[in-house]
């Protein structure tokens, strides 16, 4: 194994271990599975990683924009963006690097190579800022519900031998469920007092 491949393996395993520990209370049994098992991914696995990279960036960007455009009232958006979505996008980037797949990220906020994701960002952003705080929070909940569906779909296409990808997707699912609960709690607070 070359020095570069070994370093990628260590980085991937360390990031996966860190993310899993933060999410599921320390069960790290799958964190040590690595891309060393098989460097060959199917087209579906590659497409899934490419899509998830930009989808996680979309959530990060959208949440920051909603936070800024609502006068910083809705701190839940900034907290999720800064503390999770950035890490999720990075976790996918690390996998892309480990498998020598070109990163689809434009590196520009609110700009995506996938035209469907670009259109989705535009639609969600418009819906969030056109309404009140409740409308913005509902957009956040919708993003997380969609993310959960997309992650489950992509995970179902991953071969068992790629446990590093499965573990990363499991972490993303855990994060999305936590984010959905955070948005649901804020929505409940507004509707109960409104």
Q: Where are the domains of the chain?
A: 3-28+42-193
Return the CATH class of domain 3-28+42-193.
mainly alpha
Q: Please answer whether residues 154 and 92 qualify as being in contact, where contact means their C-beta atoms are separated by less than 8 angstroms.
A: no
**Average pLDDT value for residue range 84-102:** 96
Task: Give pLDDT tens digits for 12-33.
Answer: 443 444 444 445 543 322 333 3
Q: C-alpha angle with apex 154: 91 to 15, nearest 5 degrees?
A: 15
Task: Give pLDDT tens digits for 155-191.
Answer: 999 999 999 999 999 999 999 999 999 999 999 999 9
Q: From residue 130, how far is each of 17, 125, 134, 136 by CA, in Å? A: 40, 8, 11, 8
What is the per-residue pLDDT for 83? 86
For residues 114 and 20, what is the distance between their CA atoms, to the nearest angstrom? 28
Task: Give pLDDT tens digits for 116-144.
Answer: 999 999 999 999 999 899 999 999 999 99
């Amino acid at each position: 194994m070359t020095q570069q491949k070994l370093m990628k393996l260590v980085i991937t395993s360390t990031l996966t271990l860190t993310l899993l520990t933060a999410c599921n209370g320390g069960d790290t049994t799958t964190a040590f599975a690595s891309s060393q098992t098989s460097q060959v991914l199917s087209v579906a696995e590659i497409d899934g990683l490419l899509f998830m990279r930009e989808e996680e960036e979309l959530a990060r960007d959208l949440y920051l924009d909603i936070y800024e455009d609502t006068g910083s009232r809705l701190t839940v958006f900034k907290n999720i963006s800064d503390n999770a979505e950035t890490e999720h996008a990075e976790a996918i980037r690390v996998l892309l690097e480990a498998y020598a797949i070109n990163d689809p990220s434009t590196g520009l906020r609110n700009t995506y190579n996938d035209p469907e994701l670009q259109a989705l960002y535009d639609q969600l952003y418009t819906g969030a800022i056109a309404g009140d705080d409740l409308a913005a929070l509902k957009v956040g909940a919708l993003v997380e519900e969609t993310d959960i569906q997309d992650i489950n779909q992509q995970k179902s296409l991953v071969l068992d031998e790629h446990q590093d990808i499965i573990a990363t997707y499991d972490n993303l699912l855990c994060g999305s469920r936590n984010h959905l609960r955070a948005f649901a709690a804020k929505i409940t607070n507004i509707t109960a007092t409104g």
